[in-house]
């Protein structure tokens, strides 16, 4: 399953619903405290990752003042399972069950009233005709009753999915399809969620080194992620189920014999006792290996090592994963979310890490999510990988996908301009040089007002020239030794950059 979009509402700084599009590799950039890590942590809460625990402080303060205490985190998936068993031994699919949204995607909504336990919903393009609505809430006998009363043809009366399909087929010309929310916490529909939850990707969040407590080892310990991923393997899962069933059968046998013996001594007590044995689904195999870690020669755990060492181990975990996935040709179902991968790492190691993460992101079933402040990380990304988080003029969060670049090559200066509204001299040079290279300089200056510029000739003599503003700025950047002209202002530099960007956009058809 692959995330294609995430919606967050009333969570920390995100008051109004914000929508974020995701690709195989998605990097969030923006100023400090703008909400980059919030998105990664919201996903950790959604996937029950265990690192981040939701609490009342996560409710947006403005929403709370207005009486809205419900946090919403929604994830829309593509590449969802084509077949699910919603009823006992009865394979069906989400499309035929009208459990996909109007775009044909799987949309799971989790609502946290007062930041408490989640209520789970599906947004589904679903029948609302009262004669064929809410069929997932009906038991098999209730479905049979509809079939009989309405004289609906159905070949198989033993499977609920077949009964539902027959009813919907009967009303196919009058389904009254609408997008609605189907709650999955109810007794009649919780099996849908149980089956879907098994298929969700494993979400692994690796945070910055903010604390150094013993309990934080799971944040930086990649072996815990490896354990969880290993237990997601279908072959291993099936083998463990066989073992678990045998153990449960033996436990049941011992329990029954014990109660039989007890009955001989006191039958009244036996009637008040019931064996409590977990089901196969309730067993948490990963907990058996919860203490796995990487330690040094003196048994120093990873979370007690220096920041550089911790991140170095993490870096090489991703390098190893990239190599292992390539050699084993595995089809994983995992999301790696990494906060500021550049932390405590030399530029060379940052490049190695990004190479590994890009390789991983190209594997089927793997997505990479990053936050970063590093120019070196950004340089290795494509424009379509980047999401810029900023506040609009109304102080409302905006998440912008960088697709409107004007230069044909990845430019860190352009990303900084789009992401942070930073207009520097280096970017001015790039734009000016590009216009000149495309033989568009004369067209660019045509009709623009000029101003006086004092030039220093090779022989040292001063010469008065007339140039338009962009050329004056360009000359001042290239000849800082010439102090005979008034220095351009930052606002003038910004305006010149904007003018060149607008010109390049408008003249793309004339570019070579």
Strand, helix or coil for residue 507: coil
Question: For the segment 142-181, what is each residue's pLDDT rounded down to a tens digit?
Answer: 999 999 999 999 888 888 888 999 999 999 999 999 999 9
More reliable by pLDDT, 343 or 142: 142
Q: What tokens does 456 get?
A: 């220093």
Q: What tokens does 89 get?
A: 């031994």
User: What confidence score (pLDDT) does residue 54 get?
Assistant: 93
Q: What is the DSSP letter of 118?
A: P
48 pLDDT higher than 60: yes
Show the 3-state SS of 435-496: HHHCCCHHHHHCCCCEEEEEEECCCCCEEEEEEEHHHHHHHHHHCCCCCCCCCCCHHHHHHH
327 pLDDT higher than 70: no
Name the residue ranges covered by the structural domains of the chain: 2-18+45-213, 227-288, 423-510
330 pLDDT higher than 60: no
Residue closest to 467 by CA, chosen among 458, 459, 479: 479
Strand, helix or coil for residue 47: coil
Dist CA 93 CA 86 (whole Å): 9
Cα-only R_g, the chain: 30
220 pLDDT higher than 50: no
Strand, helix or coil for residue 299: coil
User: What confidence score (pLDDT) does residue 130 get?
Assistant: 93
421 pLDDT higher than 80: no
CB 315 within 8 A of CB 352: yes
User: What confidence score (pLDDT) does residue 306 get?
Assistant: 60
More reliable by pLDDT, 471 or 363: 471
Can you give the length of the chain in residues? Answer: 512
More reliable by pLDDT, 270 or 15: 15
Q: What tokens does 402 get?
A: 């960088």
Cα–Cα separations (whole angstroms), residue 421 to 237, 399, 497: 50, 14, 11
* Angle (nearest 5°) at CA 275 between 273 and 277: 160
Among 87-96, 163-172, 326-335, the range scoring the smallest mean pLDDT is 326-335
User: What confidence score (pLDDT) does residue 409 get?
Assistant: 64
Q: What tokens does 39 get?
A: 């998105």
453 pLDDT higher than 90: yes
Dist CA 248 CA 219 (whole Å): 33
User: What confidence score (pLDDT) does residue 311 get?
Assistant: 65
Question: For the segment 197-212, what is each residue's pLDDT rounded down to a tens digit?
Answer: 888 988 888 876 544 3
Dist CA 3 CA 200 (whole Å): 10
| Average pLDDT of the segment spanning 329-349 | 78
- Across the chain, mean pLDDT equals 83
Q: What tokens does 360 get?
A: 């991983």
pLDDT band at residue 218 under the 50/70/90 scheme: very low
Question: For the segment 379-398, what is each residue's pLDDT rounded down to a tens digit?
Answer: 788 878 888 887 766 667 77
Distance between first and last Cα of the chain:
41
Dist CA 131 CA 172 (whole Å): 12
pLDDT band at residue 88 under the 50/70/90 scheme: low
User: What confidence score (pLDDT) does residue 224 get?
Assistant: 67
Dist CA 142 CA 137 (whole Å): 10
Task: Write down the number of H helices and E strands in the chain.
Answer: 17, 16
- CA atoms within a 13 Å half-sphere pointing along the CA-CB vector of 359: 17
Q: What are phi and psi of 22, to 5 degrees?
A: -120, 145
Dist CA 347 CA 345 (whole Å): 6
Neighbour tally for 306: CB within 10 Å = 10
Among 41-55, 123-137, 321-335, the range scoring the smallest mean pLDDT is 321-335
DSSP bridge partners of 390: 398
Segments of 139-267 assigned E as strands: 177-183, 202-206
217 pLDDT higher than 60: no
More reliable by pLDDT, 344 or 219: 344
Dist CA 122 CA 375 (whole Å): 40
Dist CA 388 CA 13 (whole Å): 15
Dist CA 74 CA 71 (whole Å): 10
Ranges 94-98, 185-189, 263-267, 395-399, most confident: 94-98
Residue closest to 135 by CA, chosen among 124, 125, 146: 146
Question: For the segment 251-302, what is each residue's pLDDT rounded down to a tens digit?
Answer: 888 878 787 777 777 777 767 767 677 776 677 777 776 666 665 555 555 5
pTM of structure: 0.74
219 pLDDT higher than 50: no
User: What confidence score (pLDDT) does residue 117 get?
Assistant: 92
317 pLDDT higher than 90: no
């Amino acid at each position: 399953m692959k995330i294609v979009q995430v919606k967050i509402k009333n969570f920390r700084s995100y008051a109004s619903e914000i929508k974020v599009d995701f690709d195989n590799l998605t990097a969030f950039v923006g100023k400090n405290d703008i909400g980059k890590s919030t998105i990664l942590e919201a996903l950790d809460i959604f996937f029950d990752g265990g690192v981040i625990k939701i609490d009342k402080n996560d409710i947006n303060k403005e929403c709370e003042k207005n009486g809205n205490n419900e946090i919403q985190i929604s994830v829309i998936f593509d590449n969802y399972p084509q077949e699910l068993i919603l009823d006992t031994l009865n394979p069906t699919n989400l499309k035929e069950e009208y459990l996909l949204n109007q775009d044909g995607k799987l949309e799971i909504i989790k609502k946290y009233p007062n930041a408490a336990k989640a209520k789970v919903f599906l947004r589904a393009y679903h029948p609302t005709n009262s004669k064929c609505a809410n069929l997932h809430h009906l038991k098999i006998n209730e479905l049979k009753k509809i079939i009989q009363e309405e004289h609906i043809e159905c070949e198989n009366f033993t499977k609920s999915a077949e009964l539902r399909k027959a009813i919907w087929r009967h009303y196919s010309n009058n389904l009254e399809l609408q997008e609605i929310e189907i709650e999955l916490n109810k007794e009649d529909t919780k099996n849908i969620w149980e089956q879907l939850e098994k298929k969700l990707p494993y979400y692994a969040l690796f945070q910055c080194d903010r604390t150094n407590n013993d309990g934080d080892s799971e944040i930086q310990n990649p072996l815990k992620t490896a354990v969880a991923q290993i237990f997601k393997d279908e072959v291993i899962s099936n083998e463990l189920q066989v073992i678990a069933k045998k153990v449960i059968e033996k436990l049941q046998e011992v329990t029954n014999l014990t109660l039989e013996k007890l009955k001989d001594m006191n039958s009244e007590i036996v009637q008040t006792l019931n064996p409590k044995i977990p089901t196969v689904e309730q067993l948490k195999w990963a907990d058996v290996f919860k203490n796995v870690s990487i330690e040094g020669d003196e048994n120093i755990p990873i979370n007690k090592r220096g920041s550089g060492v911790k991140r170095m181990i993490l870096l090489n975990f991703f390098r190893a994963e990239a190599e292992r996935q390539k050699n084993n040709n595995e089809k994983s179902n995992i999301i790696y979310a990494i906060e500021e991968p550049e932390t405590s790492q030399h530029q060379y190691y940052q490049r190695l890490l990004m190479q590994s993460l890009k390789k991983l992101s190209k594997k089927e079933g793997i997505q990479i999510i990053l936050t970063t402040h590093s120019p070196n990380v950004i340089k290795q990304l494509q424009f379509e990988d980047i999401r810029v988080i900023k506040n609009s003029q109304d102080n409302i969060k905006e998440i912008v996908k960088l697709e409107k670049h004007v230069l044909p090559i990845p430019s860190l200066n352009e990303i900084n301009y789009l992401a942070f509204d930073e207009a520097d001299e280096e970017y001015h040079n790039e734009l000016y040089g590009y216009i000149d290279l495309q033989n568009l300089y004369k067209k660019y200056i045509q009709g623009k007002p000029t101003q006086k510029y004092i030039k220093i000739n090779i022989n040292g003599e001063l010469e008065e020239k007339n140039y338009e503003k962009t050329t004056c700025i360009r000359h001042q950047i290239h000849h800082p030794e010439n102090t005979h002209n008034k220095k351009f202002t930052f606002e003038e530099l910004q305006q010149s950059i904007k003018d060149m960007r607008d010109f390049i956009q408008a003249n793309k058809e004339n570019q070579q």
